[in-house]
Structure 1
């Protein structure tokens, strides 16, 4: 299982989880009662919809990389800004600028509570 022990490591651990290709590993990085926006304008919540959103991302074959632009933590909550991409060889399949809210769990690991994969894109209004 992949876990994040520091808020600042969550982006890297999330990319590592996606790169396993295993749905359960990826879902373990999230609080599925939170929100994921895997496609612009399509926020979802709850385990079933979260699973569908993650499956759609996993269907994009390639390697995910997530660069942390910043991560600000206050107590057991953190907000991060990311730049992420999925590439295969020289081809970039998708890339975007995201915003994530992370929450520290009782076992001191961090889970993503809100993942807006396109949340920092220019001109985004929703």
Structure 2
């Protein structure tokens, strides 16, 4: 598959998470975006999403590292579905080290100015069904 703008956008978002640069991270999301914090818990809108990422950073003792190993992008019109192999790790978590691989799903909408914004951020992917 050819390179897609969304690959770099997601890489930039991961970098913002890893650096805890939540101001830059909020530019990644639409105003009405939804983040799956964990199964059964959603953050809706940028203010809730920011608070969720701050809590996640605290939970992992400020050592969370997020990377996407592979991505498939399915695009039609102004909408794109991204399926990614997400690797999460934290070496300073208070109760133990943490490492996990997930098949994440993200939905993006392209705004009138051509900017892609994440509208649904679901790092759990189909695991939500379990």
Query: Shorter-chain TM-score: which interval?
Result: 0.7 to 0.9
**Structure 2 residues not aligned, in runs of 5+:** 92-96
Corresponding position of 1:100: 106
**Which structure's relative contact order is higher, taking Cα pairs within 8 Å and 6+ residues apart?**
1
**Structure 1 residues not aligned, in runs of 5+:** none
Q: Which structure has the larger Rg?
A: 2
Corresponding position of 1:111: 117
The structure carrying a bigger helix percent of its residues is: 2
Corresponding position of 1:22: 21
User: What is the total number of aligned residue pairs between the two structures?
Assistant: 119
Name the SS of the counterpart of 1:67 in structure 2.
strand
Name the SS of the counterpart of 2:126 in structure 1.
coil
- TM-score for both structures, normalised by structure 1: 0.78
Runs of 4+ in 1 over 4 A off after TM superposition: none
- TM-score for both structures, normalised by structure 2: 0.76
Rounded Cα–Cα distance in structure 2 between residues aligned with 1:9 and 1:75:
19
